[in-house]
């Protein structure tokens, strides 16, 4: 009788351990999804600001059609992304297109003095900062989750339950290049 109670106690302890590991994995996966949702919120905020910014710049620089088209197309790709990987890639393209748009705007002093443009530019800068912070939070949550998936004994439960690694939000190679600074006259 004591042997049966010991066996039952061991089984109960093992079930509790497995349940604890499983719940920890679910919690980590949800933290990763929540962190991605925060990025998604900021990407939407940026997408909402862009049409106003483009229209403001268009009024001053109507001949810059290719730049406007690139921004509009990149914005549409971010909005139409069906998963985090697509959204990450589209967001990186959009960041580059926005950089070109703001470079165009710098060539127009009267636009730089426009209060609406300045407010939109400030909002966009603040949103880009928020995107940067949420990317860091997402990558931290992803690292925590992926670490759990790879460590023993959690990896055994994760494999049996079908948990998959999450992708990190990585900086595109073009943005890693060291900028050339030239003060030559």
Map out the domains of the chain as residue ranges. Answer: 38-134
pLDDT tens digits, one per residue of 106-141: 777 776 667 777 888 888 888 888 988 998 999 999
Distance CA 126, CA 117 (A): 14
Q: Which residue has the tokens 């995107």?
A: 131
Tell me the pTM. 0.69
CA distances from 18 to 4, 118, 121, 131 (A): 21, 56, 51, 36
CATH superfamily entry for domain 38-134: LemA-like domain (1.20.1440.20)
The whole-number average pLDDT for the span 178-184 is 53
Whether the CB-CB separation of 57 and 101 falls below 8 Å is answered with yes
Tokens at residue 149, please? 């998936």
Q: Which residue has the tokens 């093992």?
A: 14
């Amino acid at each position: 009788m004591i042997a049966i109670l010991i066996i039952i106690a061991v089984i109960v302890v093992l079930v509790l351990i497995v349940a604890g590991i499983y719940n920890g994995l679910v919690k980590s996966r949800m933290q990763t999804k929540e962190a991605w949702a925060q990025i998604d919120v900021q990407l939407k905020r940026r997408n909402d600001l862009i049409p106003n910014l483009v229209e403001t710049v268009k009024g001053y620089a109507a001949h810059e059609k290719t730049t406007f088209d690139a921004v509009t197309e990149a914005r549409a790709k971010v909005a139409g992304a069906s998963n985090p990987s697509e959204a990450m890639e589209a967001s990186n393209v959009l960041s580059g297109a926005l950089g070109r748009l703001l470079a165009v705007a710098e060539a127009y002093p009267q636009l730089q003095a426009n209060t609406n443009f300045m407010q939109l530019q400030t909002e966009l800068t603040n949103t880009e900062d928020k995107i940067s912070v949420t990317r860091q939070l997402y990558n931290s949550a992803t690292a925590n989750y992926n670490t759990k998936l790879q460590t023993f004994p959690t990896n055994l439960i994760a494999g049996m339950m079908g948990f998959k690694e999450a992708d990190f939000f990585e900086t595109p190679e073009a943005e890693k290049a060291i900028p050339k600074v030239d003060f030559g006259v």
